Amino acid sequence: MSELHDLTALEQGELVRRREVSPTELVEHYLERADRLDSVGAFVTLTAERARKSATALADVPEQAGQLYGVPTAIKDLNLTAGVPTGFGSAAFADHVPEVSDGVTLALEAAGMVSLGKTSTPEFGSPCYTEPEGRPAAVTPWDRTRMAGGSSGGAAAAVAAGLVPVAQGSDGGGSIRIPASCCGLVGLKPSRGRISGFPMYGDPVGLATAGPIARTVRDAAAMLDALAGRRVGDPAWAPPPSSSFLDSCDRDPGRLRIARFSEPVITDTPLDAECRRAWEDASRLLESLGHEVVDVAVPLPREAVPVFETCWAVLTALSVVPPEREHLLRPLTRWLSERGRAVSAPDFALAIGAMRRYAADALTALAPYDAVLTPTLAAPPLPVGAIRDDADPAADFEAQKRFTPYTSAWNVTGMPAVSLPLHQTPDGLPVGVMLAARPAEEELLLSLAAQVEVAAPWADRRPPGW
């Protein structure tokens, strides 16, 4: 018989609404698993008693309970949660306990979801690997010697290992889609403005957003329904969907024109044969579903890369720590922060303007197409420590670019993008492929992704130790 963790998040929510399983039963089931099975570096803090109290408060299930009411989840260590240690993956903030929750935490609570704790992230969510100082690395449960990716590595490891059914991540350059590919999951970066940045609004460039990490497209869509929505005071917002994002998974996307390219966007690097095979197989699958797949040129020029790096360095420098704690920062963070502080205000403003022009050119070039297909990463998940280089942060940064040469393009354009776990290497490592759509067209993207999942299902794959 199936156990609770074998069920999708939506199936668990349905059992709660039918009063066949209580939120408390689900929470206890997952707390036991998290306590016993977290050899993947998923959690930095388990908030067991808080989760139990929240589940108890949800015992009286309302008639209009949402799709994920009573379903356990987890919140990334970058997201403010009132009364819960939130260290931003940094030893410099090891004792930080916020007094307020941010919009992501509040949205999940309003949906009736129960957080089991905070998931691991690298310092300030900057690297594409999750190896926080003084803590276990987040690893993919498919091979615990290999990285879960980053910066939402803890969230992806938790979902892939069956420690929560679905989790929230955040993505400023690929930080949802990278770990989704490494862990064999669905990772969705929504459109710019889809999810509120309340109350900090800390990204003046518009690269980063929260989003779902899940085992299925439908679970990801349901979590997006919980997270999405504007708040009074938001500087920008995406137009609301015509119905729910979950409903879009049941729609036929029709015959689409899908652009594709495999040339790395941000650096010259070879594409691993398995990643190329995944991309080619996905192209054939899309054609078999009736779509037109068209080869196109890379829509962003290499001249955009130093502009992105300038903005990324300034954003890192915005994570200010007290001077007496700066020695606790990792070498990569210090190096990026020094680069960011060296950028003058006019130069930063010019970089933002240049990035917006590059984005506009890319959006114009891709406007004739309904979706874009690329590899998610240039390689399957790498061994832990393969990228991190504390002795040479510049080399570390270049190695990150070689591993992730595709994902940041859609942060620049603000387009929604999803990594789908369509492929596995002969030795069982997951490999994702990435689909992107026009800004604010998550409904079409989810419709297409759901169609792909039906044609080539993956949800029954289980990593060792499941």
Catalytic sites, residue numbers:
76, 151, 175
Residues 349 and 407: beta-carbon distance below 8 Å: no
Q: What are the beta bridge partners of residue 167?
A: 213
Q: How far is CA 265 from CA 153, 224, 445, in A?
A: 23, 27, 21
Residue that the structure tokens 């993947």 belong to: 40
Q: What are phi and psi of 44, to 5 degrees?
A: -100, -25
**What's the rounded Cα separation, in Å, for the pair 329 and 185?**
31
Residues 384 and 248: beta-carbon distance below 8 Å: no
Residue that the structure tokens 């905070």 belong to: 118
